[in-house]
Amino acid sequence: MEQLYQQVILDHSKARSGEGELDSPHGASFQVNPTCGDECTVQVSLEGQRLAQLAWSGKGCSISQASLSLMYEMVDGEPLEQAEQLGETFRELIHNRGHELTPEKMELLEDLSAFTGVGRYSARVKCALLGWMALREALAQARHHTGASGQPPQTQA
Amino acid sequence: MTDLLDLAGDFPLLSRTVREGKPLVYLDTGATSQKPGQVLDAERAFNERHNAAVHRGAHQIAEEATEAFESARSAVAAFVGADFGEIVWTKNATEALNLVSHGFLNASLGRGGADAARFKLAPGDEIVVTELEHHANLVPWQELAAKTGAKLRWIPVTPEGRLDLEQLSVITDRTRVVAFTHASNVTGAVTEVAPVVERAKSVGAYTVLDACQSAAHMPVDLHDLGVDFAAFSGHKMLGPTGVGALYGREELLQALPPFLTGGSMVEVVTMEETTFMPPPQRFEAGTQMVAQTVGMHAAVDYLSAVGMERLAAHEDHMGQLLLEGLAEVPGVRLLGPTSSAQRLAVIAFDVPGVHPHDVGQVLDDQGIAVRVGHHCAQPVHRRFGVHASTRASAGVYTTTADVEAFVKGLHQVVKFFA
Ligand SMILES: Cc1ncc(COP(=O)(O)O)c(C=O)c1O
């Protein structure tokens, strides 16, 4: 159990960062997990090629809430490309059945590496990725909206 | 003192381990039951000796298969207090409920001729459901209302999680259909059917009973209950997946237009039009799930041999133990009646501050299988002000040791997330 519920996850699920709403976001996405009805909304606004602001709201289990909270801490204010790259690497980790990725990638993930164990539980994969799916969609919308150039990196389901 | 049953040994799956060697504690029977060896053997024997398409072909095994298929119908009919011709095979309760709602829809579109006019719905008519329903007995009626212009209304739920029988005035002269559950898959509450049927009859509305949970866990006599239609699933009552049944009063099935159309349900087909067979074949389009009906036959034989009264007493005892155990865990909130009277051993609860997914995960780590989420009944969760819950549900094979493991596990959950 402790392998799945790392202290970082438990902490972030209780003291969450980035919850709120933006006044006029460039992109927003609402996602639900149909198996349990959990939901989240992620809003973003851009400044050039930078993810200037992110806010999220939602309800869900500790895994989904901690994932959203850490996502906020790691991508808010960062260059778009970096945020999207992080999302792709995180997706790769969660789909890796509980195994770590290369040391370089694990380093890139920082605290998100605490989610490695989630990949062993197929029923929890969606929980970990719900917020990131919302982020991906919100960013695509915002790029479209603001005409920010550049392509999001190749995505996997 | 309840005469406790000791049947777990009949259920091969229950002897397996999970999560690195932990004995399985299966408390998710409300979602689907495990199957005794007798059911598995019956399906296998059918496939090894008698497999053929039914009601077609003149060869010997086709005859044997047809006999097995129809004798299963007869056994299931007797089990729920119905006549042979009143049971239609479906793939599950969901399909059975859709069969009825689409029969009404097709009648509303003018299909089925003068006989079916009694099922017509139009703007000004009302359909009554309840806040307690599984989505399977709610969404089809929402759809029917949207397509016919009828208005959907509902009977509310009491704070205890029962149908509020004080509010039956929702059923009025405008009501054409009353669809309600016999037993909730969330609160476990068993509905007192008589007052609902009486009220519906007094205004000339048809009644549709969701007997999915009840048929599996208590004696059910559909003729005694006096409902017009009822639905249940094989997989919840020790039978296979892929088979369920619709009950309809004979006179009504005679008049109801078909839902699924195609092979096996027709008399004369020309390029222009088709005449349909009488029920139950009219509602059994396409190649049927014969082996599964044979498995369901074995399941109702098994249940009858145990005796539904004894089964209910055993599960009632398990339900009581679960309720007592739950009451000892600090902070846990029960969603449903606190006493085991007029309720099934289906126990949904909320652990404040801990999401059901997390509750289920910690229990799973100890080999305990429960259901987490909204259990396909979002409105009743909303009624309780929660999004989702954890549910433990017992079956004929549940033991006191299972309940003890669960209660211990739940204390563990509270400690882990404290
Ligand atoms: C009360 C109730 N109604 C209907 C259903 C639907 O049954 P099925 O999924 O077998 O069609 C269920 C089971 O999930 C149930 O518990």
B8-30+307-416: which CATH topology? Aspartate Aminotransferase, domain 1 (3.90.1150)
Q: Where are the alpha helices (DSSP H) in B244-370?
A: 250-255, 290-306, 308-327, 356-365
Is the per-residue pLDDT at B70 higher than 50? yes
**Does residue A157 lie within any of the structural domains?**
no
The reported pLDDT for the residue numbered A77 is 96
**Does any ligand 1 atom lie closer than 6 A to the CB of residue B213?**
yes
Burial of B209 (0-12, 13-18, 19+ CB in 10 A): buried
Question: What is the average pLDDT across B140-165?
Answer: 98
Q: How many domains does chain A have?
A: 1
The reported pLDDT for the residue numbered B37 is 98
Inter-chain residue contact B387 with A1, CB threshold 8 Å:
no
Mean confidence (pLDDT) of chain B: 97
**Atom 14 (ligand 1) nearest CA:** B31
A70 has a chain B CB within 8 A of its CB: no
Sequence-separated (6 or more) residues with CB below 8 Å from residue A93: A100, A101, A105, A109, A112, A113, A115, A116, A119
Confidence of residue A3 (pLDDT cuts 50, 70, 90): confident
Q: What is the CATH number of the domain that holds A98?
A: 3.90.1010.10
**Cα gap B406→B390, rounded to integer Å:** 12
**Does any ligand 1 atom lie closer than 6 A to the CB of residue B380?**
no
The reported pLDDT for the residue numbered A157 is 43
**Atom 13 (ligand 1) nearest CA:** B31
**Number of the ligand 1 atom closest to the C-alpha atom of B92:** 11
Integer angstrom CA distances of residue B87 from A126, A131, B4, B96, B302 = 40, 47, 32, 10, 19
- As a whole-number percent, the residues of chain A with pLDDT over 70 amount to 94
Q: Show me where the domains of chain B are located.
A: 8-30+307-416, 42-304
The reported pLDDT for the residue numbered A90 is 98
DSSP per residue, A42-59: EEEEEETTEEEEEEEEEE
Inter-chain residue contact B357 with A1, CB threshold 8 Å:
no
For B87-109, write each residue's pLDDT tens digit: 999 999 999 999 999 999 999 99
Is the per-residue pLDDT at B388 higher than 90? yes
CA B194 from chain centre, in angstroms, equals 19
| Nearest of A125, A88, A80 to residue A108 by alpha carbon | A88
Q: Which residues of B are catalytic?
A: 376
Chain B residues within 8 A of A121 when measuring between CB atoms: 361
The reported pLDDT for the residue numbered B57 is 78
Residue of A61, A65, A120 best to disrupt the B interface, most CBs of B under 10 A: A61
Integer angstrom CA distances of residue B97 from A147, B195, B211, B247, B270 = 50, 22, 11, 10, 30
**Cα gap B394→B317, rounded to integer Å:** 10
The reported pLDDT for the residue numbered A156 is 47
**Cα gap B11→B36, rounded to integer Å:** 4
* Range B42-304 has CATH code 3.40.640.10: yes
Is the per-residue pLDDT at B2 higher than 70? no
Q: Closest approach of chain A CAs to the CA of B358, in angstroms? A: 6
Is the per-residue pLDDT at A149 higher than 80? no
**Does residue A154 lie within any of the structural domains?**
no
How is residue B283 written in tokens? Answer: 């509602």
For B198-224, write each residue's pLDDT tens digit: 999 999 999 999 999 999 999 999 999
**Cα gap B219→B329, rounded to integer Å:** 32
Segments forming the whole domain that contains residue A13? 2-146
**Number of the ligand 1 atom closest to the C-alpha atom of B133:** 1
For B306-360, write each residue's pLDDT tens digit: 999 999 999 999 999 999 999 999 999 999 999 989 999 999 999 999 999 999 9
Burial of B22 (0-12, 13-18, 19+ CB in 10 A): middle
**Number of the ligand 1 atom closest to the C-alpha atom of B30:** 16
**Does any ligand 1 atom lie closer than 6 A to the CB of residue B181?**
yes
Burial of A73 (0-12, 13-18, 19+ CB in 10 A): middle
Q: What distance in angstroms lies between residue B93's CA and the mean position of ligand 1's atoms?
A: 6
The reported pLDDT for the residue numbered B1 is 56
**Does residue A152 lie within any of the structural domains?**
no
Inter-chain residue contact B417 with A1, CB threshold 8 Å:
no
**Does residue A123 lie within any of the structural domains?**
yes
**Cα gap B187→B190, rounded to integer Å:** 9
Least-confidence region, from A35-44, B71-80, B247-256: A35-44
**Cα gap B271→B331, rounded to integer Å:** 67
Q: What distance in angstroms lies between residue B215's CA and the mean position of ligand 1's atoms?
A: 11
Question: What is the average pLDDT across A29-51?
Answer: 92
